[in-house]
Chain A
Amino acid sequence: MARRVGLEVSIACSEAVTLANVDVIAAYPITPQTHIVEHLSEQVAEGHLDAEYIKVESEHSALSCCVGASAAGARTFTATASQGLILMSEIMYIASGLRLPVVMALATRTLSSPLTIWGDQSDVMSQRDCGWITIFCENGQDVFDQSIIAFRIAEDRRVLFPTMICMDGFHLSHVIEPVELLSQEEVDSFLPPYKPEYRLDPHRPLTMGAFTMPDYFMEIKKQQDEALKSTLPVIKEIWNEWGNRFGRYYQPVSCYKAEGAETLILIAGGFSGTAQIAVDRMREQGKNVGLLRLKLWRPFPHQEIRDAVKGAKLVVVVDRALSVGGQGGPIAAELRSSLYHLKKRPAVVSFVAGLSGRDIHIDQFVEMVERAEGHLSAGKIPDYEMFGVRE
């Protein structure tokens, strides 16, 4: 029987990584990721986890160590947030280009400036195009589960991509939630030891990351793009297997009261819990509203999201990130692009809200839906709106 305990979500992540029996951890502490790596360093120091814990001088070095360790065939983990992630940015692209199954936990936090430690998804979005599988988590159990599943996905020979799991900084990383832990045997039965197909080995020399000329680069990029897109059915298969074993099923886009709904809210991450309560309230008032949670950000589940919004008139996208000077919310922009070629498609209203730790309350979700319906009936939909900004 699974043990159900109250755990800080960061610690649940570390416990999962311990159960995943990683070989190498290289990380640099940064708020609000600190508790994850602090607890892992304790796990190693106290002998609960037989891993190499590399203390580094920066996040750039942390991910560089992970790349080296992964290339040598180790199961490798790191965690970061915000400025740490963008300091890793150079190596993010390298890890995915080299197809190394590094796993990262990201306690999502705003990018400076102005300097802030609070949460939103601007750090994730800054790495949108780096070629990592990117998964949003919604609650503590989800974080625990994905922290194990991520290794299985990343290391699958049909995948071999670095994988990032995102939990809302503070709103998720620092709260205590009930989490069902799994035993070592249960995790081992789901996650076999990592057996790399290619690795740096003096007895079998090979070169990773060689210099490339223009007559090869585009073919290599095409291969990477096709490969990342082809991971989607494998991710779904692995999530399904997890569900069959442990009873918790995950989907690239999950629907709540979305069947036949005229209006849908689309959001990624922990704030979807509040949106769910807002949907319940609106349903009680007789409004035909549902909720879509975007779980998989890369590879983007185009077909799944097209299917999910098919019958709706209006999709209200709530983004916790802003593409400054661009199209506002990154998820809204992605959705619009995904729907553009369809003959029949719902209107998409984009709100940017909840930046840098600002809450989005239940009644504010209701207000966003009402505003969006107003835009739709007036026939004038703005490109995007920053919601709740003082005028």
Chain B
Amino acid sequence: MAELPAWKNINFACIVFEPGNAREYLTGDWRSLRPERDDSKCVKCGECWMYCPDAAIYQDERGFYAVDYDYCKGCGICAKECAHGAIVMVEECE
């Protein structure tokens, strides 16, 4: 983990000067349940991609919808919405 700044070194009024830097903050470590896709059931419909509130699902080179675990918070909406039962939530063990 990078060293956090001392109070004197924090930007005035906590202003953020670089646009789009929220991507540096990996919210995936909030997750306690991890979505896992079963390729044999997935029909590549993209429903999970549409429902994901964090835009943490992307289409991979084979056309499957994969999860970006850096940002997936494990909310489970994709698993709930998948019409083919291709996504299951599993406990994060470590």
Contacts and interface: CB of A to CB of B under 8 A. Distances in A.
Given A198-B12, A207-B15, A218-B7, 20 more contacts: A97-B14, A99-B13, A160-B12, A205-B19, A206-B16, A206-B19, A207-B16, A208-B13, A208-B15, A209-B14, A210-B16, A212-B14, A216-B10, A216-B14, A219-B5, A219-B6, A220-B7, A220-B14, A222-B7, A223-B8
Given A216-B4, A219-B5, A206 B17 contact: yes
Contacts of A160: 12-13
User: Interface size class for chain A?
Assistant: 20 to 34
User: Interface size class for chain B?
Assistant: 10 to 19
Contacts, number: 43
Interface string A200-218: 0000011111101001101
Interface in A216-261: 216, 218-220, 222-223, 226
Interface string B24-56: 000000000000000000000000000000000
A190 B10 CA distance: 32
Interface in A317-352: none
Given A215-B4, A216-B4, A222-B7, A210 B12 contact: no
B20 to A, nearest CB: 9
8 contacts: A97-B14, A198-B15, A207-B15, A210-B16, A215-B4, A219-B5, A220-B7, A223-B7
A219 B10 contact: yes
Contact of B10 (A198, A205, A209, A223): A223
Interface string A82-125: 00000000000000011100000000000000000000000000
Contacts of A226: 7
Contact of A97 (B5, B13, B16, B19): B13
Contacts of B16: 206-207, 210
A206 B4 contact: no
Interface in A252-281: none
A97 B12 CA distance: 10
A158 to B, nearest CB: 12
Given A205-B19, A206-B17, A99 B6 contact: no
B7 A219 contact: yes
A346 to B, nearest CB: 35
B12 A99 contact: yes
A163 B10 CA distance: 23
B25 to A, nearest CB: 9
Contacts of A212: 14
A198 B19 CA distance: 15
Contacts of A197: 12
Q: Which of A98, A160, A210 has the most chain B CB within a 10 Å cutoff?
A: A210
Interface string A148-162: 000000000000100
A386 B7 CA distance: 43
Nearest to B14: A220
Contacts of A223: 7-8, 10
A218 B14 CA distance: 12
B18 to A, nearest CB: 9
Contacts of A99: 12-13
The 9 closest A-B pairs by CB, nearest first: A207-B16, A219-B7, A99-B13, A222-B7, A205-B19, A223-B7, A220-B14, A210-B16, A206-B17
Interface in A49-107: 97-99
A219 B14 CA distance: 10
Contact of B14 (A205, A210, A215): A210
Nearest to B17: A206
A98 B17 contact: no
A99 B5 CA distance: 20
B17 to A, nearest CB: 5
A205 B14 CA distance: 14
Interface in A12-63: none
Interface in B32-87: none
Contacts of B13: 97-99, 160, 198, 208
A198 B4 CA distance: 24
A218 B13 CA distance: 13
Q: Which of A197, A207, A210 has the most chain B CB within a 10 Å cutoff?
A: A207
Contacts of B14: 97, 209-210, 212, 216, 220
A218 B7 CA distance: 8
A288 to B, nearest CB: 46
Q: Which of B7, B13, B16, B17 has the most chain A CB within a 10 Å cutoff?
A: B13
